[in-house]
C-alpha cells in the first residue's frame, strides 16, 4: 500500500505542475540574484568570495589555537564560523582557541 501511494504521488505531482496554473511569484535563481545585487560583476564577486572561504578553511587548520586565542572572542567566533569549524564540526578541546583563552584567565 505504501508503494502504491508513492507511485500515485509521483504521478499526480507532475500533473499538478503541468496543469497550467501559473505561480504567483516567478522563480528566481541564484544567477539572477547575483546579477541584480552585484551588477555585471555579481558572479565574479561570488566566485572570489567562495574561493577565499575555501582557502581560509584550509589555512585555518595550520594556525595554532594559541595564536587565535589572542583575538577577541567575537572575532574567534566569526573566523571559526567562516572556516566551518563550529558546532558539531568543531575542533576538539585541545585545538579550540576559546579553550586556551579561558585557560589563561
pLDDT 10s digits, 15-71: 666 666 656 666 777 778 877 888 888 888 888 999 999 999 899 888 888 888 889
Place of cell 594556525: 63
Contact 101, 73 (CB under 8 A): yes
Query: Residue ranges of the domains in the chain?
Result: 28-104
Q: Is the dihedral of CA 4, 5, 9, 12 positive or negative?
A: positive
84 Rama sector, left if φ>0, alpha if ψ -120 to 50, beta otherwise? left
Distance between CA atoms of 77 and 95, rounded to whole angstroms?
Answer: 14
pTM over 0.85: no
Q: What are phi and psi for residue 26, nearest 5 degrees?
A: -70, 145
Amino acid at each position: 500500500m505504501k508503494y502504491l501511494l508513492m507511485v500515485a504521488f509521483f504521478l499526480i505531482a507532475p500533473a499538478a505542475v503541468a496543469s497550467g496554473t501559473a505561480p504567483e511569484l516567478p522563480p528566481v535563481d541564484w544567477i539572477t540574484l547575483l546579477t541584480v545585487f552585484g551588477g555585471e560583476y555579481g558572479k565574479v564577486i561570488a566566485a572570489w568570495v567562495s574561493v577565499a572561504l575555501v582557502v581560509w578553511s584550509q589555512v585555518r587548520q595550520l594556525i595554532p589555537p594559541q595564536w587565535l586565542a589572542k583575538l577577541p572572542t567575537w572575532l574567534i567566533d566569526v573566523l571559526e564560523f567562516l572556516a566551518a569549524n563550529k558546532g558539531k564540526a568543531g575542533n576538539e578541546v585541545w585545538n579550540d582557541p576559546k579553550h586556551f583563552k579561558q585557560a589563561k584567565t
